[in-house]
């Protein structure tokens, strides 16, 4: 299968003050991401609060993104759910509307603790969209699925139970395991790096081509710049940009992370994504003022997406 080159954004789900979805802002959102160098979106995932959306909302949001993106801009639809039948239905819908690919993280309940359980879960989802590439979204911090990704990859490959399996969105700290999976059978599968904090490290390991990012919503110019500097053999510039990306991440970590703090940053850029749904605790006006000051202290508004 084709491997993704460049960075895919994990967008927030824009909401109105009453927590309904603000579909109307998506075209402007897609334009912002495209002009700042992103190559696509991975919608309805963790940054998009996908598990807090209804099936109908997730489908309508997918349709809205498909109608909003420019030509060649990839739309990957996260279809993971605690109900595998819902996931299969969402996969069918993604294929019907012409999405580029689908993905699913492990269900947070019940916790998946064995490779066979994970393969069965992915198998029942992926078959809903047999014509689309399927990516497993590895993010143990959200679902505590800590099975070996290398053993999972090997079993998927040898069993041939998921014919459209494309690779893994790897959002975990083990660069050793990431690279081991990337090297499997001469780089057979697409390993999309999923930690904005260590993009440069994934490139230096010798082969990362693409990634899926959360802070690229507002700091995409910086993250794309890391890939461009590396490609141009400018290691010093790549280091400076990676360190700056970490400065930005340090700020959002003071305000409940990317899903809450990052979503509020979009308002400061003139694209208000609205509140987060329960059980997320939304930022107060006072916190927004403090966050803006912390961002100004690192000259964020000179470097952010525009």
Per the model's pLDDT, the better-predicted residue between 209 and 122 turns out to be 122
What confidence score (pLDDT) does residue 127 get?
A: 98
Dist. CA 168–CA 155, nearest whole Å? 14
User: Taking residues 173-184, what's their average pLDDT?
Assistant: 95
39 contacts 6 by C-beta, under 8 angstroms: yes
Say if CB 128 and CB 87 are below 8 A apart: yes
Give 288-301 pLDDT, tens digit per residue: 999 999 999 999 99
Instruction: Evaluate if pTM is beyond 0.85.
Output: yes
Query: Which residue numbers are catalytic?
Result: 137, 169
User: Residue 53: is its pLDDT beyond 80?
Assistant: yes
Q: How far apart are alpha carbons 92 and 161 in whole angstroms?
A: 18
**pLDDT tens by residue, 11-48:** 999 999 999 999 999 999 999 999 999 999 999 999 99
User: Which of left, alpha, beta for 250 (phi over 0: left; psi -120 to 50: alpha)?
Assistant: alpha
Average pLDDT of the chain, as a whole number: 97
As a residue count, the chain comes to 306
- Please give the C-alpha separations between residue 267 and each of 18, 217, 261, in angstroms, as whole numbers: 16, 11, 10
What are the residue boundaries of the structural domains of the chain, listed by start? 6-219
pLDDT at 207 over 80: no
Model confidence pLDDT, tens digit, residues 55-114: 999 999 999 999 999 999 999 999 999 999 999 999 999 999 999 999 999 999 999 999
Tokens found for residue 205:
């390991």
CATH code reported for the domain at 6-219: 3.20.20.70
In this prediction, residue 208 carries a pLDDT of 76
Nearest in space to 291 (alpha carbons), one of 197, 222, 218, 209: 218
Residue 31: C-alpha distances to residues 39, 55, 281 (Å): 11, 26, 29
Q: Nearest to residue 48, comparing CAs of 31, 26, 67? A: 26
Where on the phi/psi map is residue 160: left (φ > 0), alpha (ψ -120 to 50), or beta?
Answer: left
**3-state SS record for the chain:** CCCCCEEEECCCCCECCCCCECHHHHHHHHHHHHHCCCCEEEECCCCCCHHHCCHHHHHHHHHHHHHHCCCCCEEEEECCCCCHHHHHHHHHHHHHCCCCEEEEECCCCCCCCCHHHHHHHHHHHHCCCCCCCEEEEECHHHHCCCCCHHHHHHHHHHHCCCCCEEEEEECCCCHHHHHHHHHCCCCCCEEEECCHHHHHHHHHCCCCCEEEECCHHHHHHHHHHHHHHHHCCCHHHHHHHHHHHHHHHHHHHCCCHHHHHHHHHHHHCCCCCCCCCCCCCCCCHHHHHHHHHHHHHCCHHHHCCC
Nearest residue to 305 via CA among 4, 9, 65: 9
CB 219 within 8 A of CB 248: yes
């Amino acid at each position: 299968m084709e491997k993704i080159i460049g960075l895919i954004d994990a967008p927030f789900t824009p909401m109105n003050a009453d927590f309904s979805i603000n579909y109307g802002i998506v075209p402007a959102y897609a334009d912002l991401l495209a002009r700042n160098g992103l190559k696509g979106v991975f919608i309805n995932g963790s940054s998009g609060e996908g598990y807090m959306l209804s099936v109908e909302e997730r489908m309508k949001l997918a349709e809205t993104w498909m109608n909003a993106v420019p030509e060649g801009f990839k739309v990957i639809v996260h279809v993971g759910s605690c109900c595998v039948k819902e996931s299969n239905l969402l996969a069918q819908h993604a294929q019907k509307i012409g999405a580029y690919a689908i993905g699913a993280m492990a269900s947070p309940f019940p916790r998946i603790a064995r490779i066979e359980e994970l393969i069965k879960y992915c198998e029942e989802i992926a078959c809903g969209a047999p014509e689309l590439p399927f990516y497993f979204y590895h993010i143990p911090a959200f679902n505590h699925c800590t099975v070996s990704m290398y053993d999972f990859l090997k079993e998927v490959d040898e069993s041939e139970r998921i014919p459209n399996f494309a690779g893994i969105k790897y959002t975990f700290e083990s660069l050793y395991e990431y690279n081991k999976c990337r090297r499997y059978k001469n780089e057979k599968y697409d390993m999309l790096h999923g930690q904005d904090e260590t993009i440069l490290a994934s490139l230096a390991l010798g082969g990362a081509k693409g990634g899926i990012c959360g802070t690229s919503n507002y700091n995409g110019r910086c993250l794309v710049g890391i890939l461009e500097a590396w490609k141009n053999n400018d290691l010093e510039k790549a280091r400076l940009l990676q360190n700056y990306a970490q400065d930005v991440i340090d700020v959002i970590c003071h305000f409940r992370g990317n899903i809450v703090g990052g979503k509020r940053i979009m308002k400061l850029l003139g694209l208000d994504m609205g509140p987060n749904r329960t059980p997320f605790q939304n930022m107060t006006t006072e916190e927004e003022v403090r966050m803006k000051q912390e961002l100004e202290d690192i000259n964020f508004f000179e470097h952010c997406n525009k």
